[in-house]
Amino acid sequence: MERVWYCHDQEGVVAALKRGEWPDLATTMGCGPLDELVGLHEELGVFDALDALPTQRQRRGVDDDLLLRTAAVLPFLETASLSGAAGELFREPAILLHLGWSPLQIRIGDNERHRHPEGRQPGSLPCHPDTLRDVLRRVEEKAWLDVQRLGVRALFEHQRVRGRVYAIDGTGLGDGLRLVCLVCVSAERPVIVAWRLLAGSASEKGKEAAVTRSLIEQAVELGGPGCIELLLVDALYADGPLLAWLKYRHEIDTLVPIPSDREIHRDLQGLARAGMLEFRRHSYVRAIQGHKQRRTLDISAQQATTSWDSFVEVARKYGDENPFLWACLISPVDPTDPDDKPWTLVSTRRWSSGVSAFQAFRPRWHIENDAYRELKEGWRLEAERWGRDIEVQRGRVTLTCLAFNTAQVYLSRSGARLAGRGIRRLRRHYHPQLGAAPVMIYIGHAYAVLPVEELLAIIGRPVSQSLLPPTLHPARPP
């Protein structure tokens, strides 16, 4: 298909309108939340990362970089399914223009797929949703990892990853899929700094520790040495050698909740029964699914334990002659839930008290309540995976995690400023005097950007009042 390019000719378009010529295309360019999120995606380098993706093209059609830019916007839309979100986005010509679609592509499409006997149907404009799914299939796993690194690197460069407390956890996405994420939980809003989608046997619960090192190495590579100070990680995602590697290789301390079947927990319970542990009562308020409740705990402190043999063995190889772990026993007072049982918190750091260690561990719940819960319920990552192929699902996860981070930045104090900067990059050809909702008019091979007041005046229906400055407001004829 021949592509038609439009040049900017303000005077020519205005003259054509006054002669009564019909425009090829008209669209408003108002700035709403979706525009701002797209602009922030641009500012954070997400589109540049996607443009650099190598793909295995097997047919002629729309450029892959344009399709990937389009797919990257879909997670922001309220409709979670790929076809529904694509249909919603395809009704937003202003956004499509920002992404790089030409007016001709928006109007009549740009590939021959899903040709209907009566001509191309509205659902296939500017391209069929399956075309977006196809481009996700053509991206290899390593390429998605490169996009992940570039997208997160920009967050570090813009100082959007704040604090040095991180958490690792995993969640199931159904059908043998499991998502494991490393999340910065220091700030008010969590940021996902590394993730892996595990399939098959690798996704079984308890095997995620195999990817923990790669997540940490990726974060340290992007954020620099010292970017992580404390890691909150369940015992399912850590083992003794990993704790020693974090402590002695990267100077990262850990806080690990230990299940009741571990030797450390049994040792502390034995000391408690013998009266050899001193407990301190601690009361706090927690929120579960939006409901606040007060909880009371008895928390002890055990200064040193060597009951984790694999940690001690590897720590000695790193040169520590007397390695040990710090541990405390936590017992609920008057529990109301059968699952609310005593548990143990273990750390490679020596804490001043059990209460201080417990308080330091509490941000770990951000990864469940504010990250995974949002991804599943708000972003519908589990229910709408965009396809059955692991390649498509890997693309869906990557684009959604990147969009999640952009939304977290957008909701921050400086997010609006960054979004505005991104929009300005997308709209370099605009003029600030055009108002909040200019109209783009395409006639022949030219386009013009007009304030809506000027457009109405040209067609003989001028407004009596305008929000534009008086010097820019078209004069009303006498």
The DSSP bridge pattern shows strands 325-332 and 343-347 to be antiparallel
* Same domain assignment for residues 39 and 90: yes
Is position 323 within any domain? yes
Q: Whole domain around residue 85: which residue ranges?
A: 30-140+382-426
Average pLDDT, the chain: 81
* Same domain assignment for residues 324 and 182: yes
pLDDT of residue 120: 47
pLDDT of residue 403: 93
pLDDT of residue 427: 44
Domain end, chosen from 378, 413, 443, is at 378
Between the CA of residue 65 and those of 52, 61, 69, 391, 401, what are the distances in Å? 8, 12, 6, 17, 19
pLDDT of residue 21: 86
* Same domain assignment for residues 217 and 344: yes
pLDDT of residue 8: 66
pTM across the whole model? 0.79
Look at the chain and report how many structural domains it folds into.
3
pLDDT of residue 424: 45
Is position 145 within any domain? no
Q: Which of 23-32, 196-205, 412-421 has the lowest mean pLDDT?
A: 412-421
* Same domain assignment for residues 257 and 337: yes
Residue 412 reports pLDDT greater than 90: no
* Same domain assignment for residues 352 and 209: yes
User: Tens digits of per-residue pLDDT, 312-338?
Assistant: 999 999 999 999 999 999 988 887 777
Q: Which of 5-9, 79-83, 269-273, 276-280 has the lowest mean pLDDT?
A: 5-9
* Same domain assignment for residues 192 and 286: yes
* Same domain assignment for residues 445 and 337: no
Is position 151 within any domain? no
Is position 153 within any domain? no
pLDDT (mean) for 216-230: 95
pLDDT of residue 4: 46
* Same domain assignment for residues 240 and 311: yes
Is position 231 within any domain? yes
Q: Which of 225-229, 325-329, 411-415 has the lowest mean pLDDT?
A: 411-415
User: Tens digits of per-residue pLDDT, 432-474?
Assistant: 444 556 777 878 777 777 777 788 888 887 777 665 545 444 5
pLDDT of residue 312: 93
* Same domain assignment for residues 1 and 115: no
Q: Which residue has the higher pLDDT, 122 or 304?
A: 304
* Same domain assignment for residues 129 and 202: no
* Same domain assignment for residues 273 and 202: yes
User: Tens digits of per-residue pLDDT, 166-203?
Assistant: 999 989 998 789 999 999 999 888 999 999 998 865 54
> Residue 219 maps to which CATH number?
3.90.350.10
Percentage of the chain beyond pLDDT 70 is 79
Residue 123 reports pLDDT greater than 70: no
Packing angle between helix 82-89 and helix 64-73, nearest 10 degrees?
100
Is position 150 within any domain? no
Residue 401: pLDDT band (50, 70, 90) is very high
Domain end, chosen from 363, 378, 393, is at 378
* Same domain assignment for residues 328 and 388: no
